[in-house]
Amino acid sequence: MIQSTWKSVNNLDFLKRIYFLITILFCGFLTSCAPENDKKSLQADGDLELIKIDLSEAREGKLSEFFEPEIEYIWLKDDSEDAQLNAGLQKIFFHGDKILALDIFGCKCIHIFDQSGQFLSKIRAYGEGPGKYMEFDDATIVNEELLLLGVYPPKLMWFSSDGKFLREEKLKQFVGSGVYSENEKRFYFYSSTREPGEYHVVSVDDAFQDTLRYLLYQEDRYTGNYPSRDNFIKNGGEVFLGKAFQDTIWSFGEKKMYPKLVFDFGKYAQSTEELKKNSLNLDPLQELEFINKKAKLYFHPNQWYLTESQLYSAFKYEENFYNVFFDRKNQKTSILKGRILDDLDGSFDAYSILYHFEDVKVGFKVPGRDLYDVLLNRKEELGQEAFEEYVKGKGKNFARIALQAKDSENPVLIVYSVKK
């Protein structure tokens, strides 16, 4: 039996479904800020990367500024009655020659596709007892096996890459999300604990020994009610952690945790004290109304990615949406207001980047029918002769997939490669 230090979450289902409602209404465009005195102390670290966000510098932007010229289109094809690919898919990631798509609220399953989008198999172990789960919220690959996390009742579950159940280990307390560092041969698990004296991050070695703890829970900090499935990012063998309502991104190494990047929102920052007061004085719908129409900038690791060359995050300020790119080599911030113009192949102007598929592969999904509508709009804009040249040249890949998926509600993944 694995001994852990995490408290069980009695209202897991409630919190997850509240988050689902919020995601539907404003697509997860949330962002955060730590206290100013914490920020000053962090800036004393010479290796810290500071991301200043001044909305007065917001501008229009193009995909070519941040991504390589080639765009990949992958139509996910599963026409079974319970596929439900047109909604949900809270997390999608690539591993080897497979695509794994997590549907946490619909079928409570993981769809497995090949790299061309052909359906291969499904992990669906919903139920009670050994080898079963009532809820799950995250998954990661460890030594070519899929580790299921955020499982209720609390346990860790391992599956083969083709979806076969392998083993499980029960936990005394709940684990929300996690990641495995091949460099350190260590697991890092995150918990949204609210118990004094407990820690949000617990790390163990391969034998689930040598326990390390990080980020002591602080009762005076506003934490909100959001899942942690996107808190961890791995890049170049390094593990990073972003936490809701904190403006610092942390890195792990040599059994230590240290600040790596920090957001500076200046006068545009949302007061976490105001959010704390709202949680006490407003009902849930009023809180949601505030977030949708009045909230200022704060960080929430939902739509973000981090590579050796870039950090990206989507933000919302009152009723306006922004895409923020940070050039890590030149320490330069680009703040784009609204959609990102597709000047690469002239297809779909991105609202935001929803998924970090793997390494430098990022993107979002669009229903096949909607992508076909975009193609028809291009035809109307260009005229017949120019359109024929377009689909034979610059728009060839886009047009091919849009035509194939024109009658489908299943998603087409639009995949960008981050510039190095």
Residues 54-101 have pLDDT tens digits of 999 999 999 999 999 999 999 999 877 666 677 779 999 999 999 999
| Least confident piece of the model among 23-37, 88-102, 136-150, 165-179 | 23-37
Burial of 140 (0-12, 13-18, 19+ CB in 10 A): buried
pLDDT band at 45 (very low <50, low <70, confident <90, very high): very low
Instruction: Tell me the average pLDDT across 150-172.
Output: 93
Compute and round to an integer the Cα radius of gyration of the chain.
21
Query: Is 321 in contact with 338 (CB distance < 8 Å)?
Result: yes
What single-letter amino acid sits at 21?
A: L
**Percent with pLDDT over 90 in the chain:** 77
pTM (global) more than 0.95:
no
pLDDT digits (tens, 9 = 90+) for 327-385: 999 999 999 999 999 999 999 999 999 999 999 999 999 999 999 999 999 999 999 99
pLDDT at 23: 38
At residue 377, φ and ψ (nearest 5 deg) are -65, -40
pLDDT band at 44 (very low <50, low <70, confident <90, very high): very low
Distance of alpha carbon 358 from alpha carbon 149, whole angstroms = 19
Name which of 44, 32, 4 is nearest 258 in CA terms.
44
pLDDT at 82: 62
Give the Cα-Cα-Cα angle 196, 198, 201 (nearest 5 degrees): 140
Distance of alpha carbon 183 from alpha carbon 237, whole angstroms = 6
pLDDT digits (tens, 9 = 90+) for 176-185: 999 999 999 9
Higher pLDDT, 190 or 85: 190
Which of 28-42, 118-132, 211-225 is predicted most confidently? 118-132
pLDDT digits (tens, 9 = 90+) for 379-420: 999 999 999 999 999 999 999 999 999 999 999 999 999 999
pLDDT at 219: 86
- Whether 113 has a pLDDT exceeding 60, the answer reads yes
- CATH code for 14-417? 2.120.10.30
Tell me the pLDDT of the chain averaged across its residues. 88
pLDDT at 84: 67
Alpha-helical segments (H) within 219-356 = 272-281, 284-293
| Dihedral sign for Cα atoms in the order 26, 28, 31, 32 | positive
Name which of 219, 226, 166 is nearest 192 in CA terms.
226
pLDDT at 291: 87
pLDDT at 87: 73
pLDDT band at 19 (very low <50, low <70, confident <90, very high): very low
| Dihedral sign for Cα atoms in the order 380, 383, 386, 388 | positive
pLDDT digits (tens, 9 = 90+) for 269-328: 999 999 999 999 999 999 989 988 999 999 999 899 999 999 999 999 999 999 999 999
Instruction: Tell me the average pLDDT across 218-244.
Output: 89
Please enumerate in sequence order all residues whose Cβ is within 8 A of that of 389, keeping only pairs 6 or more positions apart, or say none.
none
| Dihedral sign for Cα atoms in the order 79, 90, 23, 319 | negative
| Least confident piece of the model among 189-193, 263-267, 308-312 | 189-193
